[in-house]
Chains A and B, each alone.
Chain A
Amino acid sequence: MSEKVLLVDDEKDFLDIMSERMQARGMTVKTADSADKALAMLENESFDAIVMDFKMPGMDGIQALKNIKTQKPELQIILLTGYATVEKTVEAMKIGATDLLEKPADLEALAAKIKQAKAEKMLLVEKQTEEKIKDILQRFGG
């Protein structure tokens, strides 16, 4: 089953090429050219991973990350950045980013990270489902 990815970047060129290349690798790709649009799309659709630029006009990557994690904590978010500092990486990881990749990014590395993110999401969803079932059983049992 292919990975469903949401690509968020303010560079339209980047979105077009990346989506084409990722699709060529068997992924299902949707694009958004701003964090606000991405948040709107997330309300109606589910994704395995979000690949998002760190620095965008309007809502930046960190703010968008916070908002998405509040809305859908199980979502796996990979951030792309022009320059990764330790502080920036730590901050992003604390908020809940899955990974942080430096530009110019290697697509193969990104694809591997997306696959890994999907697996993590599946695990997380399974865990959540198990907890829910346990909760229901406990309620009925109790």
Chain B
Amino acid sequence: MIPLHRLKPAFWDLPDTAGSHSGLNLKRKWKLIVLVTAILSLSPLVIMTLVDFSLTRRTIETEANTGMRTSLNTIAAMMSASLAEKPMVTGAKTLWDKTFPHLNTGMHNDLFLMDNTGRLLTPSYYYEAFGSRTILDAGLFTGPDGIVHIQAPDGTPLLAGYARVTHTPLILVQLRQADWLRDLWLKPRLKLLWFLCASIGFILLSIMGMATFLVGRIHTSERRRIEALHHEEHANRLASIGRLASGVAHEINNPLDIINQKTGLIIDLLTLGKQARPDQRLLPLAEDVLEAVKRCGTITRQLLDFARHMEPCVEQVDMEEVISQVLALLETDARDRGITIHVPPVPEIPEFACDRSSLVQIFLNLGENAITAMGKNGTLTIGVFHEKTDLVTITVSDTGKGISPEDLPKIFEPFYTSRTDRWGAGLGLAITYGLIREMGGDIRVKSVMGKGTRFTLTLPVKAARQSTSDGSLQLPGADMPVQSTSVSDDTRGDLYAKP
């Protein structure tokens, strides 16, 4: 048995809020497609069926009525011929008893003779009493023959066919229940109705399936388009930061060099003996300034390095240097929140090559997420392991609030976020996932509620940048199952164990 929630398409639960890609109102589109297609495809079927019902009913009724009139006229003609010599009522009775004893007098075929005053000459199923009493209103039977609707004494609606026996005061009457004809055409049609209902059901299911497929495709392509846009925007933002960093570094380096040279001059003046009695504190102070200038120089160089690496390219990457660069960016936030960042010794992987900016971004996204998850106080651990020659394993663990087992499978999906601030666009982990897949790597996550989360990345030592043909990032989808595990308390030891 397939659980119902698995049949539910991915777009079904998207909130219809303006501004997000779900603003496309996919659920409404789905309903509209189903409605319009169902109306277009089912209405001819339903209309044809109704017309067929109506035509069949009319044809059968006409045929039956004509048949009844013809039969009555034939019998009446026969009686008329027999009574031509003695057109007497008693003679008619005798003739009836002799000639037509086999004619049924039952519920469905009540045939009898009456005279034009309404007296019954032969027994009737519906009008049992016969004889001298006037029972039927002969005025109903105006023409030489015909069919009229009457009511039996017990209230049963009846169809009365009649034919006058010429040259006599006799009227031959046949009564049938009014609905006997309905049984005739409705029963076979009801069998067809079941077939029609099953066909409608199949058609509706096909329409719903087709609409789900089409809207699902719209949802996927729209998600990819928006993701590509976000990725591009993100890349542009990074490039802008890069240009800004580059400009700032250039502009800072010139005055920095002046400080450097002027301080150098002070030191020169002090050391080259031109000052008679210099203050003893001047030289160390000037040297401190020079040291600070050196540090500033290192920072501007790092900024420029960062800017230079905004362009994607696969190159030899020093993992330790990348981690220290990321830590420099994370440590202020971590310090403010009382979070300790722990990095065990990073093994040397001289042949490790990848797109440096992507690696920085991956570390930054995971690090920022971890810090946000911890809030105040905690430990962020970044571990690098090189146990297999062609693989590098990186773990990013936090001691934060953890991810619930329900949310865990969704965390790599674009637009999934647990954050409510404007920066929580829900793209960080989706982009991280895409970048890792581009490098030919994989990411797994384990989490214990209230204890923490650990992301384990596996990257090939020689990573190739595998961009998708449209330049967009590869995102988690049905074809790329995200490996995520929620860890119960008893396996907590595994959470922080080396993979």
Contact = CB atoms under 8 A, between A and B. Distances in A.
Contacts of B18: none
B249 A17 contact: no
Contacts of B223: none
A55 to B, nearest CB: 7
Interface string B239-273: 00000001001100110111111101100100010
A44 B308 CA distance: 42
Contacts of B260: 103-105
Interface in A43-86: 55, 80, 82-83, 85
A24 B272 contact: yes
A17 B262 contact: yes
Contact of A103 (B257, B272, B308): B257
Given A17-B262, A83-B249, A11 B268 contact: no
Given A102-B301, A104-B297, A83 B246 contact: yes
Given A13-B258, A14-B258, A24-B272, A104 B265 contact: no
A21 B256 CA distance: 17
> What is the predominant secondary structure among interface residues of chain B facing chain A?
helix
Contacts of A18: 261
A11 B249 contact: no
Most buried by A among B250, B254, B272, B308: B254
Nearest to A83: B304
Interface string A1-31: 0000000000101100110110010000000
A125 interface: no
* Secondary structure of the A contact surface, majority rule: mixed
B160 to A, nearest CB: 110
A107 B263 CA distance: 11
Given A85-B308, A102-B301, A107 B261 contact: yes
B258 A17 contact: yes
Please indicate which of the listed interface residues A20, A21, A104 has the most CB atoms of chain B within 10 Å of its own CB.
A104
Given A24-B272, A83-B249, A85-B308, A107 B254 contact: no
Contacts of B296: 104
B293 interface: yes
A11 B250 CA distance: 14
A20 B297 CA distance: 23
Given A17-B258, A83-B304, A85-B308, A103 B253 contact: yes
Interface residues on B, range: 20 to 34
Interface string A80-119: 1011010000000000000000111101000000000000
Contacts of B253: 82-83, 103-104
Contact of A21 (B264, B293, B294, B304): B264
Contacts of A21: 261, 264-265, 268
Nearest to B260: A104
A21 B264 CA distance: 8
Contacts of A103: 253-254, 256-257, 260, 297
A36 B262 CA distance: 26
Given A14-B257, A24-B272, A102-B301, A107 B250 contact: no
B137 to A, nearest CB: 117
Contacts of B300: 82-83
Contacts of B297: 102-104
A135 to B, nearest CB: 45
Interface in B24-42: none
A105 B297 CA distance: 10
A13 B297 CA distance: 19
A133 B308 CA distance: 50
B308 A11 contact: no
Contacts of A105: 257, 260
Given A83-B301, A104-B253, A104-B297, 10 more contacts: A14-B254, A14-B257, A14-B261, A17-B264, A17-B265, A82-B254, A83-B300, A102-B297, A104-B294, A105-B260
10 contacts: A14-B254, A21-B265, A82-B254, A83-B250, A85-B308, A102-B297, A103-B297, A104-B253, A104-B259, A105-B257
Interface of B: 246, 249-250, 253-254, 256-262, 264-265, 268, 272, 293-294, 296-297, 300-301, 304, 308
